[in-house]
Amino acid sequence: MAADKPPPSHSPRVTRWSNAPSPASSNRWLFRLIGIPVLAVAGVLIYRGLRDYLVLPECDSTRAKNTLAEIFQQLKLTPLHYEPIKTMSSSKYKVVCNALLPLVDGGSVNVDYTFFWQGHTANMRYSISPRPAPRSTPGAAQKSGG
């Protein structure tokens, strides 16, 4: 009866889940290891570049301070620093800000500014009112001295 059984005609097949790694699978693993973080970093950089076209700046952001610096340069005003800056209101379509900034000469400047969308472009509207430095009277200094 043993002679009645024919020998197996095919060799055992290698299945997809075999333990032997193929060169293609190691390349895929290497791509996942390196490619996914590279794509994530590229996505963040692209978003930062497009962010100016998608989101209005915050009142105390670098973008807002740079815009204020350009305006002050044109008006020949020199604030000592750009703080404190207050956000009066904020929405997806409009950001309203206020700042009272000290000047080099001892005065200050009150700045009200608003970022808003005009079409697909972020614009800024501003109002600046300088406040002169308080003057001390010479008589007041003499009276306190004696």
Reported as a single tens digit per residue, the pLDDT across 4-45 is: 666 656 555 555 555 655 666 777 888 788 888 888 888 877
pTM over 0.85: no
- CA 72 to chain centroid: 23
What are residue 115's DSSP bridge partners? Answer: 95, 124
SS (H, E, C) 32-68: HHHHHHHHHHHHHHHHHHHHHHHCCCCCCCHHHHHHH
Mean pLDDT by 10 residues, the chain (146 residues): 60 57 72 83 75 82 90 89 89 94 89 92 91 66 47
Q: Where are the domains of the chain?
A: 24-54, 57-131
Q: Does the domain formed by 57-131 have CATH 3.10.450? A: yes
Q: Determine the pLDDT at residue 14.
A: 55
